[in-house]
A and B are shown apart, each in its own frame.
Chain A
Amino acid sequence: MNITVTPATFSYVEFDADLTTRVARELAASMGLDRDVRIEIDETTPLAKIIVDVPTAANEPIVVHADSGAFEDTRRPRRQSENTTATSLGRVLYRATDRLQGGFGEAPADGELTLAQMAAWETYSVGRLARLGIPVNQQRWRYNFRNRHGFSDAGDESFALLWSSDGLTWGELQAISERAISVGTPARAQVGT
């Protein structure tokens, strides 16, 4: 498995391509991913968008396009955070792995996923990252899930199920997400009522 990171050196940010390579290699090994991975970092933007292209041909690499903010240490602007790098890369690499390993054939392309579907998949991915030993703030992802599925006990139960799951199929994942949405949150919910 070959990991490449571009650019090799950075001028807008103080990033380390070797660090990114190492993190990606460790993640891929933990996930059982045997494809080549190419990581393209856009260091000219502080945004944190990260997307992944999953090739259909077996000899083509997975390509990750990341804005510099996706790997940045939010405490120290322009510097790289290993943990943020691992979390961001882990999320997209798990999505790629899911698509490649089967069971996710019916899943829409990343760009076509609804906000709720993406939040559900992110929950599923980050829960697995946590079990790999990557430090994550579960509440951050719970809040993201709630924003997309409503603030309800049933939604939180769905979140917990996704977070602790392994080996889901797209159909199972989507069913959990839809169940949470169907309960939803009444608009303008009142505190304490």
Chain B
Amino acid sequence: MEAIVVKNITKTYGKGKKTDGTLAVDNVSFTVGKGELFGLIGPDGAGKTSIFRMLTTLLVPDSGSATVDGHDIVSDFRQIRSTVGYMPGKFSLYQDLTIEENLNFFATVFGTTIEENYHLIRDIYVQIEPFKTRRAGKLSGGMKQKLALCCALIHKPTTLFLDEPTTGVDPVSRKEFWEMLKRLKAQDITIIVSTPYMDEAALCDRIALIQGGKILSIDTPQRIVQSYPEQLFAVKANEMYRLLQALENYPGILRSYAFGEYAHATFRDPDFKTDDLEAYLTGQGLTSVRIEAIEATIEDSFIKLLN
């Protein structure tokens, strides 16, 4: 059974008589299976938060329809509100309440107690329990996210909506956070998570690459990477800026862009030889040139889809 079914939803903000408004979500459709970890991957302003808000019944789509656990997001919003867990992007808890008070409050509001569903949050909560009398405002970013996750989980939701849960969190805490999500998946909770970090995409069961309110591609991370059409090369030289310029002017170039300390490039000719490029780059006055054939990443796929 599908946990979430989204059919052609569209959302425009600020639509008036004179202005067309901003198109935030443009004819988006996707489904999420029960117990799946689904990722919405895209840059800021891609429409991720708008999709989350529509699915959590906070916004009504202009057109199209969607169901969560079989409940319609417009007409059955009450049922959805009592079954899903939601962690908004800017969610910051109550800064002046302690960890324990925050958790207790949300448990009570959702009509449950910490004890009742402690098994769900135990793995996460034990990490912050030593500080349970500390106020939320005095916690580190990673601890805040853990607490927020506990608060969203405490009522044993069937579906968990996490809007950019790792934005502004250090790499170690981010890794821990994703491990927690994997464990939650084992509890049969459907998780839909959004993130601007491409490296996190690989950790999802399936991902939707989204840009400008449109879904560019939906598949498993492996298949998205595998479907990268050309052989990708990583190129390095002593001067990045000149390297990029030289690559752009290379006759057989298809795409080239900076990628960390490397430049990534693809070429039109299927029989492309690295030696030819090396000779060309050296001829352009670049030294210590290194060229490697590499596997494409999600980010490479995303960049390809954007162009």
Check if A and B associate.
no
